[in-house]
């Protein structure tokens, strides 16, 4: 089966992991700091906090902002459940905003409509790898004194008006799951220019304990205090060794993803019944996903099945978050809440997209879809 996305692990990646295994530190060691610095350097942010997953990174961000019961955080309905779950972890209420029909990115106009006296933050999701409209989102967040968080799990390497994802919001969250741009197996990071937020997240990832074990060892001190209830959201040096090695290849991988996207775009041009999502001219799209939209739900389902029959996986990203049973049980059935998201969900399909994918897969995929539409 050809997957819709997969990791690339090369000999130097394996070597990097083995080197860490032979070193003194398997966790809370120097590779964690080195990986944080490398990602910060790449995206242009002052601080990086590496954690055990993208989900943990989102949770850290919500904790650092002090989100709690009674607080509302605006999130797009078209996202992975973890975006909204991070608000629920803190006892807050995720408020779902609709997306733009052509890009499926959170619509700033819809965000503004959802703001109440309880709103504390916005989480913008750079869906498929295309950065959101950060200029408009910044105007709204400044006007209402909200924090702007980017869920950049799809968009490491993406750019908006010349600025890199990771430097566009108050905090940006990344995931290093194997389907994402670079991998550490499981892993995540938050980048921010705000040193106080970074400090709070460092404490939160380590049980709520102030001072880290390496510093204590260096200073010959046993004393530590827990000031908050945190979690063990630490990432290992083994994982960070892999991450450092992977990051070096990111620019070439993004280029390849864009090449594949251009090939898909050309093949779908002029077809009726199916269209790729729109890439705006002021962004550099990182293409975590290549998403097409079918006019008819039936055609989407047929395409999914016929691709599968030819050994090609595709996927649907995403079911509107508030339609999941947990959200229905907790907040009630709310069909019609985000009509653009609901309609998009009926027709979208994510086609195979990963750097080592040969051009011939594009031809196979397009050929299959041509037979349907
Ligand atoms: C992958 C992903 C996450 C969660 O990341 P994990 O590392 O799998 O926990 C969160 N948000 C979005 C949009 C994602 O794609």
Ligand 1 pocket residue status of 83, Cβ below 6 Å:
yes
**Architecture of the domain whose range is 250-370:** Alpha-Beta Complex (3.90)
- Residue 132's H or E segment, with its range, is none
User: Which ligand 1 atom lies nearest to the CA of residue 317?
Assistant: 15
Distance, CA of 125 to CA of 80 (rounded, Å):
9
Q: Is there a contact between 195 and 11 (Cβ–Cβ < 8 Å)?
A: no
Q: Is there a contact between 207 and 226 (Cβ–Cβ < 8 Å)?
A: yes
Ligand 1 pocket residue status of 183, Cβ below 6 Å:
no
Q: At what angle do helices 250-268 and 359-370 cross, to 10 degrees?
A: 30
Ligand 1 pocket residue status of 85, Cβ below 6 Å:
no
Q: How confident is the model at residue 291 (pLDDT cuts 50, 70, 90)?
A: very high
**Tens of pLDDT along 343-361?**
999 999 999 999 999 999 9
Place of tokens 């939160």: 204
Closest CA to ligand 1's atom 3: 54
Percent of the chain whose predicted confidence (pLDDT) is above 90: 95
Could you tell me which CATH number the domain at 11-247 has? 3.40.640.10
* CA 212, 65, 190, 175 torsion-angle sign: positive
In this prediction, residue 216 carries a pLDDT of: 79
Cβ of 255: how many Cβ atoms within 10 Å? 12
- Residue 48's H or E segment, with its range, is strand 47-51
Task: Give the residue numbers annotated as catalytic, written as ranges.
Answer: 180
Q: Is there a contact between 42 and 155 (Cβ–Cβ < 8 Å)?
A: no
Q: Is there a contact between 157 and 216 (Cβ–Cβ < 8 Å)?
A: no
**Tens of pLDDT along 261-274?**
999 999 999 888 99
Q: How confident is the model at residue 211 (pLDDT cuts 50, 70, 90)?
A: confident
User: Which ligand 1 atom lies nearest to the CA of residue 79?
Assistant: 13
Domain boundaries, the chain: 11-247, 250-370
User: Which ligand 1 atom lies nearest to the CA of residue 179?
Assistant: 1
Ligand 1 pocket residue status of 164, Cβ below 6 Å:
no
Q: Is there a contact between 40 and 193 (Cβ–Cβ < 8 Å)?
A: no
pTM tops 0.95:
yes
Q: How many angstroms is it from 153 CA to the middle of ligand 1?
A: 6
Q: How many angstroms is it from 176 CA to the middle of ligand 1?
A: 8
Enter the DSSP assignment of 357. -
Kindly state the average pLDDT of the residues 113-137.
98
**Tens of pLDDT along 231-261?**
999 999 999 999 999 999 999 999 999 999 9
Closest CA to ligand 1's atom 15: 153
| Substitution site in 5, 53, 54, 61 for ligand 1 pocket (most atoms within 8 Å of beta carbon) | 54
Is the predicted pLDDT of residue 217 greater than 90, yes or no? no
**Tens of pLDDT along 58-108?**
999 999 999 999 999 999 999 999 999 999 999 999 999 999 999 999 999
């Amino acid at each position: 089966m050809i997957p819709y996305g997969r990791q690339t692990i090369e000999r130097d990646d394996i070597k990097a992991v083995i080197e860490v295994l032979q070193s003194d530190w398997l966790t809370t060691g120097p590779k964690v700091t080195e990986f944080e610095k490398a990602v910060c350097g790449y995206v242009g942010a002052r601080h990086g906090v590496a954690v055990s997953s993208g989900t943990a990174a989102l949770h850290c961000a919500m904790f650092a902002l002090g989100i709690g019961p009674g607080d509302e955080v605006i999130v797009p309905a078209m996202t992975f459940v973890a975006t909204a779950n991070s608000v629920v972890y803190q006892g807050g209420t995720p408020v779902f905003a609709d997306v733009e029909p052509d890009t499926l990115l959170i619509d700033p106009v819809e965000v503004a409509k959802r703001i109440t006296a309880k709103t504390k933050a916005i989480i913008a999701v750079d869906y498929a790898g295309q950065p959101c409209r950060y200029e408009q989102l910044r105007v709204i967040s400044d006007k209402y004194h909200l924090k702007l968080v980017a869920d950049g799990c799809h968009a490491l390497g993406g750019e908006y008006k010349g600025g890199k994802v990771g430097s566009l919001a108050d905090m940006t969250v990344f995931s290093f799951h194997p389907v994402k741009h670079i991998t550490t197996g499981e892993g995540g990071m938050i980048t921010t220019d705000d040193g106080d937020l970074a400090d709070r997240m460092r404490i939160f990832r380590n049980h709520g304990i102030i001072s880290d074990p390496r510093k204590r060892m260096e200073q010959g001190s046993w004393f530590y205090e827990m000031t908050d209830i945190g979690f063990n959201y630490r990432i290992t040096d083994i994982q960070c060794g892999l991450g450092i090695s992977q990051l070096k290849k990111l620019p070439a991988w993004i280029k390849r993803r864009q090449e594949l996207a251009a090939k898909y775009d050309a093949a779908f041009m002029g077809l009726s019944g199916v269209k790729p999502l729109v890439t705006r001219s002021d962004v550099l799209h990182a293409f975590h996903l290549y998403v097409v939209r079918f006019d008819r739900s039936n055609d989407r389902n047929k395409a999914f099945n016929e691709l599968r029959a030819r050994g090609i996986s595709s996927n649907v990203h995403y079911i509107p978050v508030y339609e999941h049973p947990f959200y229905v049980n907790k907040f009630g059935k709310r069909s019609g809440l985000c009509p653009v998201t609901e309609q998009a969900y009926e027709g979208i399909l994510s086609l195979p997209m990963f750097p080592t994918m040969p051009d011939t897969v594009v031809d196979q995929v397009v050929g299959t879809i041509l037979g349907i539409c």
